Structure 1
Amino acid sequence: MSNEIHPRFAFINNLVGWEGQVNTTHIVSKFQLSRQAASNVLKQYREQYPTYLQYNTSEKAYIATKHFDNAFTLAGTANSFSQYLAAIAYADDGVSRLQPSTVLEVEAPLRNINPIQVRPILRAIREQLQIDIGYISLSSPNYLDRIIQPHALIFDGLRWHVRAYCNKNNDFRDFTLSRFNGEAAFEGKATHFAADDEKWNTIVDVVIEADPRFNPEQKHIIEQDFQMTHGQKVIPTRAALVNYLLRRLHIDSYKNTPEEQQIVLTRASRQAITPYLPKPA
């Protein structure tokens, strides 16, 4: 199952995947089409995926078949739920029975990002340039000029980072995007690129399991929550991003109770990723 074939097919996949059905009204409301045009979209979808939908006269909608469910599950659903919520959030009334007040997200305060400061960094990434720009850090509370060679942006769930080669430290590092300030000047073509960033190109397996302090029944619940297989979940991750992942999973520190902890790294995984974790102060 691919959501890239057609944007409207992607919408159908997400709606059917999470609500179990779709009808012409959904397509009309979402894409502002005539009923005939919406019917044609569903017809084209059914021609491409003839076993995925079955019309239900009582529901007056096309219902997901087992073939659809199997394909949707195999395609992976972790990201598609967010896509589904985004799709219905920007849809007109009638696309979904869900109301905005029934699906809420806890919002954390994001770091302030000045678009004027971001523009030259994005240009440096696009055109592979070196850039001289002011940067402030906890160790240097006054803005100091840094010449960096950025190649990627990273969002850790709370703030944006820039992955770049630092000319001062002669190494690839992460810079918090909100801490750049001042006039930016380009210093010619970059000499260090993503292909040279060893930690960026090294993939390590972060392996989690249920906290061993749980009893077997509790472990089973956690294993279901995190879609573990044989008691473990393997998450391939760039070595440069391991610490962000641990923070996102709330396993960057050990909690006093298993209820707080819930998941831990396996011993082998902890040993494998230790070289890529920040050194204790």
Structure 2
Amino acid sequence: MPARPVAPSAGGLGWANLGMDIVSAHRVRKLLAEHGEEFFTRMLGPGELADCRTSTGLDVLGLCGRIAAKEAAFKTLRVRNRFLPWLDIVIRRADGGWPLVELRRSAAVMAADSGITGITVSISHDVEYAVAVAAPITGDTTGPGSRPEPTTHSPPLRGVLARSAVRSPLHIPLVHSTVRRPPMSDGLQQIKDWILKRHTDREDIATDLDLIENRLIDSLSFVEFVFLLEQLSGRSIEMETLEVDAIRTLGAIESNFFCAEVK
């Protein structure tokens, strides 16, 4: 039998990794009501928020469209163990009204590593949902100067989710232990209850279940998750330096945020 064709590696010349995302206006309104406009400053820069502003406040569907566009653009990069760098993927409105994508700092480096020189995106709205589709622009990135050099303000390339709030960075060491765990702490129980409330199809969550791979925490809920984790742990969390493995499972969250020996 003839061999089946094998798709080329992602990111090569002539290869297009399409990205798509959909955002519910109901979900965004709920976040806006619960946390206020400040919540979205961790996801959109001042210019992006200004593009969504009207005389009566934020245009929720416009906000949904930009959130979906960032997620769709990030999906074209095909990277692993990275958080969506919200403030490094910038969606602005062109004079003609269509969206433009600007990749900064960590997003620009990820794009260069994937052989992508730019991203184009289209956004559509319909009553309660916004949908975005993104496609990469590929080119020869093997020549001198093709890879953008990180600036002195670039976040380290470990897994980044940009935020605008200025706080002292907190380094989260990864704790690995085979010692029998004590009963679940109150803080971790609240984290677990928070996740279960958003996934009513589940009755329980194993401590070693991958929360990221199973999409129990997605890009939009992650920002809200960090808000909650800061409150329950009593610590300020710099998302630019937060490693994916530090919050991948309930066990990891407990070890890295709620164990007494972790300072």
TM superposition score normalised by structure 1? 0.23
The structure richer in helix per residue is 1
The structure showing larger relative contact order (alpha-carbon pairs under 8 Å, at least 6 residues apart) is: 2
TM-score when normalising by structure 2 = 0.24
Which structure features the higher share of strand residues?
A: 1
Bigger radius of gyration among the two? 1
